[in-house]
Structure 1
Amino acid sequence: MATIEKQAAVAPTGASLYARFAIAGALGCAVTHGALTPVDVVKTRIQLEPTIYNKGMVASFRQIVKAEGASALLTGIGPTFTGYALQGAFKFAGYEFWKQYLIDFVGKENAVENRAFIYLAGSGIAEFFADIVLCPLEATRIRLVSQPTFATGLVSGFSRILREEGVIRGFYSGFGPICLKQIPYTMAKFSVYEIAAEGIEGIVGPKESLSTAGATSVNLGAGLIAGLAAAVVSQPADTLLSKINKTKGTGSITSRLIGLSSELGVRGLFLGLGPRLVMVGTLTAFQFAIYGDIKRALGATNSVEIRKVK
């Protein structure tokens, strides 16, 4: 027997509901990405300068601190926090919106039987729009990390790129790679999370019947599994994104991507996977935990859940 359940009978609806989803998503993504800025700095340096940072994650941390001071590990925290707040708002609220839209479009019974498609399609569409707002800030972050003397922070770095390179070449050279990275990442993230959460709830019971701590633990566990899967899926595009945003480029974006892929090879495309597994696994787990807790605090608990009752 298949059912689609509402988590609450009385709750905000319409724009008010999706605004709450956006706030929860923005805080979840901004806090987690901001807190893990040092890991992201190390991961980006390993990708961009593998001949210098070639002794692993811990040794690379020490190299950066010794050469540039501990403050270097917070390089790019401004664009990281701002960019992922915007991206999180669009991604999580967008996912809730498109999931509901697709359920209504295919019908409730079909939605339950084809819930993997709903998860994948809804998250992929949501991430595309989220990437449009993220890309300029991610380009600024990578430039600050790869060229520490480029600017002093978010505003000066953003302004310099805009002034010297313009909107398209400066901010959206990496739009292809960021979509290739973020869309598969988000599709894996949400679909694996939903499946993992369903499996965990099959053992411990529905989140609605659990304590607050129990529900948060389900979100953490499912989020960790989802984050590890998503990190592996999106790693090659993450490396290309770092490379293409490091410096000004000539030629079309497509030709640059093909050239970089050929130059790096399979092994090179997975540079920095270790730090990224740590970073993405951790931040995804806490993103879903924070998202769930803030939704609950804001009374936005009536998102649609697709479940198959055994």
Structure 2
Amino acid sequence: MSKNAQKPKSTIELYSPTYFAACTLGGIIACGPTHTSVTPLDLVKCRRQVDSSIYKSNAQAFRKIYATEGLRGIFTGWAPTYVGYSFQGAGKYGFYEVFKYYYGEKLFPNAPKTLVYLGASASAEFLADIALCPWESIKVRMQTTIPPYAKGLGEGWSKVTQKEGVAGLYKGLYPLWGRQIPYTMVKFASFEKTVELIYKQLGKPKEAYTTLQQTGVSFLGGYIAGIGCAVVSHPADVMVSKLNADRKPGEGAMTAVGRIYQNIGFKGLWNGLPVRIVMIGTLTAFQWLIYDSFKVYLGLPTTGGH
């Protein structure tokens, strides 16, 4: 081992309840603030997904929103974003670590690692989205209506539940699963494999590098994984935005999907992809950087590269 390498030391036992709790907290720290920080990009993306003619470019969108709605308008939807993606981050990362351990070490010890990563991430995201869905529903309504559906999270929650009941908060759950489960499967499996390949190309095992270098690898692996995430999940992301903005009362989910697809066509499913690649690539890179930095802070090993 290199003299400069730092071997993680921690009083937290790996795969103990405390370890999984730490990973859950790391997920909150990694996801809530990062998603909130790109709210302006998310706002423009959602509006252009719902109406591709609303802005000619992203730059024009920001100028127009700032001119008519001010700085607060640029961050429309930040509160449900922060709460929702904090909940989702807790489930995404916390449950992923749980399922990865139990699938890979207990239930299917001889299974290929990639299958374990895919199964663990899909299971984790299924649960995480149940926690995310109500907040995502409010966020999308606020971002895709002009003037915004509500001025804040509390007002948005009240308006949805009073008009549609709790069910109104979950009307986008199926398409959310359709967007987020493939997204997370790509995010985690490609990250794990990318980090593994980076260390293989570097020619030394992960333990030979300092924790700072290891978190740098996490950032790079996260950005590469994020590009794949954006492309794979984008059609479902468009449909989530459209469903929350344009689903008729009493209309079934699949009926709504069919009607919307007839209106926008295959090309319409890719509205806003370039801005989403930038947004998701950056988000994913910083999430892995923050998550693994938090683990290093606790004396735990970084993710991947084994």
* Length-normalised TM-score, structure 1: 0.90
Name the structure 2 match of 1:122: 120
Name the structure 2 match of 1:3: none
Q: Given that residues 20 and 300 in structure 1 are in contact (C-alpha distance below 8 angstroms), is that contact kept between their aligned partners in structure 2? A: no
- Bigger Cα displacement from structure 2, 190-199 vs 249-258: 249-258
Greater RCO (Cα-Cα under 8 Å, separation 6 or more): 1
Name the structure 1 match of 2:68: 67
Name the structure 2 match of 1:42: 44
3-state SS, counterpart of residue 11 of structure 1: coil
1:126 positional shift: 0.3
* Length-normalised TM-score, structure 2: 0.91
1:240 positional shift: 0.4
1:59 positional shift: 2.3
Name the structure 2 match of 1:212: 211
The aligned length equals 296
Name the structure 1 match of 2:285: 285
Name the structure 2 match of 1:193: 191
3-state SS, counterpart of residue 12 of structure 2: coil
Q: Given that residues 12 and 18 in structure 2 are in contact (C-alpha distance below 8 angstroms), is that contact kept between their aligned partners in structure 1? A: no
Q: Given that residues 207 and 214 in structure 1 are in contact (C-alpha distance below 8 angstroms), is that contact kept between their aligned partners in structure 2? A: no
Structure-2 separation of matches of 1:49 and 1:96? 39
3-state SS, counterpart of residue 248 of structure 2: coil
Q: Moved runs in structure 1, 4+ residues, more than 6 A?
A: none
Question: What CA deviation, in whole Å up to 9, does each residue of 1:196-227 have, x standing for no partner?
Answer: 10011112333332223211210110000000
Q: Given that residues 80 and 136 in structure 2 are in contact (C-alpha distance below 8 angstroms), is that contact kept between their aligned partners in structure 1? A: yes
3-state SS, counterpart of residue 246 of structure 1: helix
Q: Given that residues 88 and 128 in structure 2 are in contact (C-alpha distance below 8 angstroms), is that contact kept between their aligned partners in structure 1? A: yes
1:267-306 alignment, distance < 5 Å: 267-301=267-301
Letter in 2 for 1:280: I
Q: Judging changes above 3 Å, is the alpha-carbon distance between structure 1 residues 264 and 248 closer, same or farther for their aligned structure 2 residues?
A: closer
Question: What CA deviation, in whole Å up to 9, does each residue of 1:59-101 have, x standing for no partner?
Answer: 2222222232232110010000110001001000111111111
Of residues 134, 143, 146 in structure 1, which corresponds to 2:144? 146
1:236 positional shift: 0.3
Of residues 7, 21, 24 in structure 2, which corresponds to 1:22? 24
Structure-2 separation of matches of 1:51 and 1:272? 11
3-state SS, counterpart of residue 198 of structure 1: helix
Q: Percent identity?
A: 39
Gaps of 5+ in 2: 1-7
3-state SS, counterpart of residue 301 of structure 1: coil
Letter in 2 for 1:188: V
- Bigger Cα displacement from structure 2, 220-229 vs 7-16: 7-16
1:8 positional shift: 6.6
Gaps of 5+ in 1: 1-6
Q: Given that residues 221 and 285 in structure 1 are in contact (C-alpha distance below 8 angstroms), is that contact kept between their aligned partners in structure 2? A: yes
Structure-2 separation of matches of 1:224 and 1:115? 21
- Whether 1:174 aligns to 2:172 is yes
Letter in 1 for 2:121: S
1:143 positional shift: 0.9
